[in-house]
Structure 1
Amino acid sequence: MVEWLLNPWVISIIIVSVIVSNIAALKYTANMKFGYRDKIKYLHEKQKREEALKEEEKKDKQA
């Protein structure tokens, strides 16, 4: 059994399969969206809402 695992062909196949699976995983994760742009968009909209509320409060105080 040990001789079979130490066979150069078996070791080569294991190494190639690990490399190919790592490359496939990197390609998959490279195209993932991590929500960074969505977070920026959300924060920008939140800031606009807060500014609108402040302007309404100023108008209410003036009236």
Structure 2
Amino acid sequence: MKKASQCVLCQSKIKEDNLGIVVLGKCICADCEQKITHLAGDDPAYDFYKGGLKKIWFNEA
């Protein structure tokens, strides 16, 4: 069994064999990856995901 990880955006538990993407060693679940790829700039969730991705890039997550 693979080690479970946690999505840095939604905090859900995910398995390594079912990751969405890994950015700088941080896991993003497939659900969040899907939401990000279909997100428009005027979407109410845009700021949430933008903030989460910034935390990864600035090593705050």
TM-score range, shorter chain: under 0.3
Higher relative contact order (CA 8 A, sep 6+): 2
Structure with greater helix percent:
1
**Higher-Rg member (1/2):** 1
TM-score (norm 2): 0.26
